[in-house]
Amino acid sequence: MRILIIEDDKGISQVLKRGLEAHSHQIVIAARGEEGLDLATDETIELVLLDISLPGLNGHQVLEQLRARRPRMPVIMLTARDDLKNKIAALHAGADDYLTKPFAFEELLARIQAVMRRFDQPESARLQAGTLQLDLLAQRAWRNDNLIALSKREFALLEYFMRHPQQVLSREQILLGIWGYDFDTASNIVDVYVRQLRNKIDEPNQPSLIATVR
């Protein structure tokens, strides 16, 4: 596998390079965010190990721009920042995993294998409706290869709709399927979430993917 390491600490990047090459991986190294972003757009790159504290573009900025260019690229963040805020920010930005330095090399190998298993999933783990795609294991959505940021509840609702194509679903059915029996059926929560989904998945001047039948 061809792996890109974006890391400004030469000592760390060389240790990772030697270890990964010993496991038959091909390694490319970038020391700056801009350089790493350019290299990551190369279709031969299959995984990115990305540090947060980089000169130029920082790791979060690199990840944000990379997701816009290659939304399906597996990315593992490698950083000395162990606080919860940075972990959450990295995962929200689209990181597939987060590893805090220092770490055991065996743990890195295990994380790489776990991430790649999610991306090597069978087609049955994906749903598609026209240009809209759902990756059920990675919990990601795309339309026209553009990554769509969804909350867990929004993702669950969109998955529910895509598993019932061309069907008229009542609010009660949706409440039962997504929120369970105990949710107040008089609530407008379904309408609120449907509106949020439309704002995120619909394209300008195009019919909505979710139709309301009255």
Q: Which CATH architecture has domain 124-201?
A: Orthogonal Bundle (1.10)
Mean pLDDT of 41-66: 91
pLDDT tens column, 101-152: 888 999 999 999 988 887 765 556 788 888 899 988 788 899 987 889 998 8
- Tell me how far the alpha carbon of residue 16 is from its chain's centroid: 24
pLDDT score at 8: 94
Note the pTM of the prediction, 2 decimals: 0.60
Tokens representing 47 are: 């995984």
pLDDT score at 58: 92
Highest-confidence segment of 68-72, 117-121, 144-148, 181-185: 144-148
Could you give the strand order of the β-sheet that contains 132-135, starting from the edge strand earlier in sequence? Answer: 126-129, 132-135, 140-143, 146-148
Q: Exposure of 157 by Cβ count < 10 A (0-12 exposed, 13-18 middle, 19+ buried)?
A: buried
| Sole residue written with tokens 């059915």 | 173
Task: Compare 61 and 176 and report the one with higher pLDDT.
Answer: 61
Q: Smallest Cα–Cα separation from 2: which of 116, 146, 94? A: 116
Percent of the residues in the chain that have a pLDDT greater than 90, as a whole number: 43
Q: Which CATH architecture has domain 2-119?
A: 3-Layer(aba) Sandwich (3.40)
Helix axes 189-201, 152-162, angle to 10 degrees: 80
Percent of the residues in the chain that have a pLDDT greater than 70, as a whole number: 93
Domain boundaries, the chain: 2-119, 124-201
